Amino acid sequence: MGKIWLALEIGNSRLHWALFIGKKLYSAWNTHYLAESVIQQLAKCQTLDHLLLAISPPHQKISRENTSSSPPSPLSPPPLLVASVVPSQTAIWQTYPNTRVITLDQVSLKGVYPTLGIDRALALWGAGKTWGFPMLVIDAGTALTFTAADANQCLVGGAILPGLGLQFATLGQQTGQLPLVEMQNFPSLPSRFALNTTEAIQSGVVYTILAGIKDFIEAWWQLFPNGRIAIKGGDRTLLLNYLQTLYPEIAARLIVEQNLIFWGMREIVMEHKE
């Protein structure tokens, strides 16, 4: 059996976790950011169960059944791989004794520019290594990003725009009379030409994001007619449902996979071990 290690992706909204045993992703979950005091306690956990409890989401326990047949034994802190796009958070996670921070130079993707987000690089690397290049990754997270590489595993480039949640939040926060519209409230497509404020915001944000995604995908297929596309991020399911209704031929070709960054991290961990 492989060694137990933890992967932590520090996003702009929350933490994304995975428990690996060797190459196998055993469990993945999200949490809020943790307090510095909690992080300091992690190194002192006596067993893996205690450690997992400390980093579990509220009301949910990460089970490690079958991860080990041996009885709980005193724990040496399992390796923690961190990929972060939030520098202040990266700093506080360095207090954990067995942390390895993944930086851009550790990703074998060619042609990157120095400020490329590590999440974009890892997701692209993980997707390309799993399904093949050329690959375009759409990350529907806090920011919505497009990130692409060609058949030579060389960065083609991409784009960054405010994600769904951020678009609703800025309209609500930066205007005198627009309400804060919540995402979860509309599982079906909004009406295009709306006759009230809430629906007008929903229509504007949703239809322009979908049109933008379609436009980037078509431009991608112009460049690489057989280019693959993977989609991840907290808003992926919502967007996929809308795309299935509006552009079913596009939706049918999307690879939907939330764990792309973890696949990228696994590639890096395993690279020198085979």
Ligand X SMILES: Nc1ncnc2c1ncn2[C@@H]1O[C@H](COP(=O)(O)OP(=O)(O)OP(=O)(O)O)[C@@H](O)[C@H]1O
Pick the closer one to ligand X by CB: 188 or 222. Answer: 188
The interface mask with ligand X, positions 11-50, x = CB under 6 A, is xxxx------------------------------------
Which of these, 38, 26, 37, 31, lies nearest to 8 by C-alpha position?
A: 31
Residue 92 Ramachandran class (φ > 0 left, ψ -120 to 50 alpha, else beta): alpha
Pick the closer one to ligand X by CB: 21 or 85. Answer: 85
Residue 84 marked ligand-binding: no
Contact flag: residue 12 with ligand PAU (CB under 6 A): yes
Contact flag: residue 120 with ligand PAU (CB under 6 A): yes
Binding-site residue total for ligand X (CB under 6 A)? 17
Closest contact distance (angstroms) between CB of 182 and ligand X is: 9
∠200-203-209 over CA atoms, to 5°? Answer: 140
Residue 63 marked ligand-binding: no
CB–CB of 110/155 below 8 Å?
yes
Pick the closer one to ligand X by CB: 227 or 233. Answer: 233
Site for ligand PAU in 150-209 (CB under 6 A): 160
Say whether 49 is catalytic: no
Which of these, 269, 29, 253, 255, lies nearest to 137 by C-alpha position?
A: 255
The letter for the amino acid at 179 is P
Pick the closer one to ligand X by CB: 5 or 262. Answer: 262
Which of these, 8, 272, 253, 20, lies nearest to 122 by C-alpha position?
A: 8
Task: Read off the tokens for 77.
Answer: 């802190």
Contact flag: residue 142 with ligand X (CB under 6 A): yes
Could you give the CA distance from residue 25 to residue 62 in angstroms, rounded to a whole number? 13
Select from ligand X, ligand PAU, none the partner in contact with residue 89, using the beta carbon and a kind-dependent cut-off of 5 to 8 Å.
Answer: none
Residue 228: CA count within 13 A, CB half-sphere: 20
Could you give the CA distance from residue 104 to residue 242 in angstroms, rounded to a whole number? 33
Q: Interface with ligand PAU by CB under 6 A: which range of 54-62, 140-148, 177-185, 263-271?
A: 140-148
Question: Which residues are annotated as part of the binding site for substrate?
Answer: 113, 117-120, 197
- Write out the catalytic residue numbers: 119
Residues that bind ligand X (CB under 6 A): 9, 11-14, 85, 119, 139, 141-142, 163-165, 183, 233-235
